[in-house]
Amino acid sequence: MQVGLEAISFDVPKYYVDMEELARARQTEPAKFTLGLGQREMAVASPCEDTVTLAAGAAQRLIDTYDIDPTSIGLFIVGTETAVDHSKPVSSHVHGLLGLSKQCRVFETKHACYGAMAGVAMASDWVLSGRAQGKKALIIASDIARYGVGTAGEPTQGAGAVAMLVSDTPKLVAFESQYQGYYSSEVMDFWRPTYSKEAFADGHYSIQCYLDALSGAFSMYRDNYLSQNPDAAGGALDKRFAACLYHVPFTKMAKKAHQRLLECGFGEPLAKDDPRQAEVAADFSARVAPALRINAQVGNIYTGSLFLSLFDFLESQGADNVGKCISLFSYGSGCAAEFFSAEVLPTCAQVMAQQPSADILNQRVKISVEDYESMLMRLPRRISMPPRPVIRSVGISVGPFIYTGTSEHKRRYLVKPHQDKTEAPGAQQAAR
């Protein structure tokens, strides 16, 4: 039986800031953010957008674009590390907003940026086990990354959601479920205490943790692959991948990751003046950089970052790589990581052509650094402060799902009627 991705879609906030402008406002050389970190723009969630509205927006686009019958979804998981409640999962809010079937297993997963990957892996195993009985799994990665104004992490913020349909009738990629590599280790590289809306990171250490996890997960993948394909021993295993996709907290991180992957093949780390560095740089440009375009315009979306890069790859290079294999690496701080691979399917180009990423990104509005800061000021930084109703915020541009504020300790959402659709079955009333 084949299992893989049948469809993929994404949503981003309506606003973004330009990285050069952010750098100037922080008295920093713009090249540090654009070249040093590799970011061009940073998505900014308004007070009317949260993890729920972004997740619902991504999934609604997927359902509308591909005419998915909501009753065909038997498993629905939201992976997030920026949930809106300690008890009620984001998935329940979204389940209601989308009007999904009640005969559906619904829950939320958390492990930093690995949360959605855990959902995809669980969905894949669910299908392979035969328990899906023809039903599909909807997995959404949704997050808002916040480190705070003026912190080292600020230029690596972002927000967005990716929705994916996993089934036994994949049209985009088929997972090579027989080959997997995991790595887990207790490290304190990045965390967000339950009282804080903003994350803390031991930034440079987190980069080392990410790279160690990549080596560890790839090593297990390689052992797994070679035990099933002993004839492949001796060659650099990464050569079987037409593209190498990584978790992307900022696009320069993918460059560091690819260097590490190739070093695993060389069997040693390369010195800065090693002549093989030219080969590494060219290989990065060919097999990694083309799928980092959207990430550079959105920033870190935590659980969805790897899958945003996958969307980019499928849209821009899927047609040229049919039948070829790609690698995917997911990293979640704390830490858990997974290295796996997938084969690009012939229907990929036709499916991806139905929702160009430019249509989604071009709807965004650029705001000044001052406006971004004032939007942040309207959000509570500590969870002891319940958010006030925000629907009266004048002039805020919103998507189809709107967080209208919290009243009586309940989060309230509105569904904006769009096209031929009226209010979704689970839509709640606006805050009074």
Active site residues per annotation: 81, 113, 247
Quote the least distance from Cβ 338 to ligand HMG, whole Å: 13
Q: Among residues 119, 249, 299, 304, which is the contact residue for ligand HMG, using CB under 6 A? A: 249
130-169 residues in contact with ligand HMG (CB under 6 A) are 152-153, 155-156
Determine the Cα–Cα distance for residues 125 and 429; give it in Å rounded to an integer. 38
Helix (H/G/I), strand (E/B), else coil: 326? strand
Site membership for ligand HMG, residue 247 (CB under 6 A):
yes
**CA nearest neighbour of 208 among 361, 120, 331:** 331
Of 24-32, 128-136, 259-267, 350-358, the window that binds ligand HMG (rule: CB under 6 A) is 24-32
One-letter amino acid for residue 204 of the chain: H
Judged by phi (left if over 0) then psi (alpha if -120 to 50, else beta), residue 38 lies in left
CB atoms within 10 A of CB 208: 13
Of the candidate residues 177, 295, 300, 330, the single one contacting ligand HMG (CB under 6 A):
300
Residues touching ligand HMG, count (CB under 6 A): 31
For residue 81, state whether it binds ligand HMG (rule: CB under 6 A).
yes
Binding pattern for the stretch 392-421 against ligand HMG, x by CB under 6 A and - elsewhere: ------------------------------
36 binds ligand HMG (CB under 6 A): yes
**In the complex, minimum distance from the CB of residue 307 to ligand HMG, in angstroms, rounded to a whole number:** 13
**Each residue of 35-44: b (16+ CB within 10 Å) or e?**
eebbbbbbbb
- The one segment of 82-90, 204-212, 276-284, 394-402 that binds ligand HMG by CB under 6 A: 204-212
Residue 430 near ligand HMG by CB under 6 A: no
Only segment of 27-35, 312-320, 375-383, 406-414 that touches ligand HMG (CB under 6 A) = 27-35
| Residue 55 CA neighbour count, 13 Å, CB half | 34
Task: Please tell me the distance from the alpha carbon of residue 220 to that of residue 336, in angstroms, as a whole number.
Answer: 14
Q: Which helix (H) or strand (E) holds 179?
A: strand 173-184
Give residue 342's identity as a one-letter amino acid code.
A
Query: Quick one: 75 or 245, whose CB is closer to ligand HMG?
Result: 245
Minimum distance from CB of 354 to ligand HMG (Å)? 30
In the DSSP assignment, the letter for residue 272 is T
Query: Nearest CA to 156 among 80, 82, 25, 248?
Result: 248
As a residue count, the chain comes to 432
Q: Is 107 within 8 Å of 138 (Cβ atoms)?
A: no
The reply to whether 190 sits near ligand HMG by the rule CB under 6 A is yes
Q: Quick one: which of 10, 16, 331, 403 contacts ligand HMG (CB under 6 A)?
A: 331
- CB-nearer residue toward ligand HMG: 77 or 301: 301
> Considering only CA atoms, which of 299, 368, 364 is closest in space to residue 15?
364
- Residue 84 or 207 with smaller CB distance to ligand HMG: 207
Q: Which is nearer to ligand HMG, 333 or 357 (CB)?
A: 333
Q: Which two tokens stand for residue 119?
A: 């959902």
Binding status of residue 113 toward ligand HMG by CB under 6 A: yes
CB of 141 to ligand HMG, least distance (A): 11
Cis peptide before 244 (omega within 30 of 0): no
Residue 426 to residue 98: CA distance in whole angstroms: 7
Q: How far is the CB of 427 from ligand HMG (least distance, A)?
A: 30
Binding site for ligand HMG (CB under 6 A): 29, 31-32, 35-37, 81, 112-113, 152-153, 155-156, 189-190, 201, 203-204, 206-207, 210, 247, 249-250, 252-253, 300, 302, 331-333
